[in-house]
Structure 1
Amino acid sequence: MMAERREFDLTLFGATGFVGETTARYLAGAAGDSARIALAGRSPEKLRALRDSLGPGAANWRLIVADAADQDTLDTLAARTAVVITTVGPYQRYGLPLVAACAEAGTHYADLTGESIFTRDVIDRYHSRAVATGAKIVTSCGFDSIPSDLSVYQLYRAVVADGAGELEDTTLVATVKGGVSGGTIDSARAMWETIAADPAAEMQISDPYSLSPDKSREPRVGRQSDHAFGRAAAITPSLRGWVGTFVMAPHNTKIVRRSNGLLGWVYGANFRYREVMDAGTSPAAPLIAAAAAGGVVAGMRTVAVLSRSSPGRRLLDRVLPAPGTGPDEKARAQGWFRMTTHTRTSTGAEYLATFAGQGDPGYQATAVMLGESGLCLAFDGARLSESAGILTPATAMGEALTDRLRATGMVIDVVARPHRS
């Protein structure tokens, strides 16, 4: 990665925030005694208190004072470490300076962003420099968008291994139990405030290929929408119940399509991808699915409208969860997720990918995903892609990250389904 050996293998920036602390606690148990880890943030007192609470596994971790608004501190941080993982969001507001520092220093980077506008901005500003320095800048390394990205990547590998053609209609069905933190709400709000200030930015949300490395090479499969409402059997006859809009689909689907492009559009000439939410089979399921389909759009539009004025922003401040808040430890432990991705190939074969895990998907499971992404970038160099630049989880870490997450207890597998005529 870089000619010299850095002072740290891995640095966690934003360690004292809600997700940052959860990630630090995960790393304290998972990293191993030989890993040279640092915790970074604005407050040395909070960093010290966090380290002291992590137990003997973190006793020798170093502390770095750095501020997202102070470029010099970020440049120094990036120069000292081989890998940075960051939980400091909303990334559209606070994330660009750290990416700039890592791209310049040749430092690998992973974040948790679900903000497509930020990701597009990072590509436009820093991809070329990161390629030149060898930095792997990997966005969306949490529940946004590792299950989506790795599931489709593993489907592709299985289909190729079986000689079963190319991926065509592919749909992820999400079933989750988890809470929402103030940080997640604030990230969504930051994105819609950007749109309110620059309406042209909305095209980056509505365009399914807005993160593509080359739109002219994308599959010609007609209009694709992230809004859904209908019977699950329309995806495959074995499914029951109803599906609706999955709130994370607008970002996840773009990450999956970017992976396809970065890999040379290998998923297929007619690869078509979408994500939906499982609304269940109860008598109320059609209403739940319809509410999801309409509620996501209505909520986004409401935030966008309110964000255009000072009174509207003050109202949002009062009614939305504050950054730094989220589900308590018991609720995080009781959460879970199960993502099933169904595909039909150009030869008519059908495959099913499953990505499932225990723990609140947006927080407990996300801390595992981000932590393992950082460890993967730091210690699995021989198994990583040779590519550099603004990458995705699948294109940067692929099999190495898949194996790491399986070792934590997450289920990631692909099976061929009986053929239907």
Structure 2
Amino acid sequence: MPTVAIIGTEGSGKTVFITTLAKRLSVENKLGAFMNPQDRRTVQYIEKVWTILNNSEWPASTSPGELFELEWTLEWRDGLRVDIRLVDCAGQDLRALFADEQAANPEGMPEQLRQLADYSRAANIVLLMVNLKDFIGESNDERRTSNEWALKYALDLLGSNGAGAHIALVFTQIDQYQEVLRECSDWKNAAKKYLPYVYGAHLRDDRVATMAVASVVDTQVILDNGSPRRVPTPKFRSTGMGTMVKWIGDQAKAVVEKQEAEAKHEAAIREQKEQDDKRVQAAEQRRHKLTSFLKRIGGLAIVAVLLIKGCTWLTSDSPSKGSREREQQGPTVPEPNMVSKDARLVGTGALESFGLEIWGRVRNDGADGNVTIRCEFIQAGQSWPQYVTVRLAHGEYYDFHFTDRTHLWQNSGQVQWKAWAE
């Protein structure tokens, strides 16, 4: 839940502002906002100050070194909630914290100032209350410069903590400075004229918003021991409160959106890390199982040898591999197989001389194609070839028959012959 801090120097009207705001929002306003006090001390304090104001008096200033905390939850009808905390302290303590630059060295500062510094830096939204009296009505140049430096240094420090987009410089008691408003046309120009260093460093580019309120618009002048004094009138009005509440709501929504985006981003990072851890764990488990398996089958060295041999077998064109591939692919050319062959003398008649006859059978064990069957008739170192070419399908037989009657053989002892297929 976003947090709002309210700080300011002495006389800036912090106590009157928060009391008036809390009472105005003790019932839901037209914007649907309600300030819900979070403890009894807060309620008692606000009721006490409110009674003082309606009795035409101002509450006493907080003493230096005194520090107490008030807390509300500012709630809107749409469900938006903001934690508003006022660590009420003496304005002199705030001046010491920022004007004397003690905030840069929290270890060496008093306890109440350290709490104030932590409170200011931890808030998502900061309202820095300013009374123009510290500048327009201040005749002491050194004190006026110190007042402006305290504001500028506070904004420098708060802005460096990443809260710069959610800081507002709030002019208070503006009912007394209407002439300044007419002269400058708006409060930002008033800051430019009377707080030039603050304006140049933080207001000119709207990194810090400029706002204005009058907690007590209706006042009356009374004589106090013969001296005139301005005091609240009963049932006084306020101005600028609605604009202030709307601004706080807008800033709170921006803070919530940023926090939700950061939460989603962090959740995504955590989820990614969990997934990475699971993958690493799974990989480690697989490695462990593999190591155990390798040890069971004889050790990593044997496995390495087997892997090397396996890689060699995969990358080499070995005969056995080629044979298997060819077996899987089937024959690509005819493969004639001489199943049988024989020869005999053939009588030629009265001369009792013989011719020679060669016959046999061939089977194609290969692919479909042409097969050539050859033979030779051989006599006295001379040969007479014959051949025939036929087309055979895979597994088909062919019975061949060759005869030579040109040359005569007297007996079987003279018979020599060859027969083959290709």
Q: TM-score, normalised by structure 2?
A: 0.30
Larger gyration radius, structure 1 or structure 2: 2
Q: TM-score, normalised by structure 1?
A: 0.30
- Normalized per residue, which structure has more strand? 2
Q: Which protein has greater RCO, CA pairs closer than 8 Å, 6+ apart?
A: 1
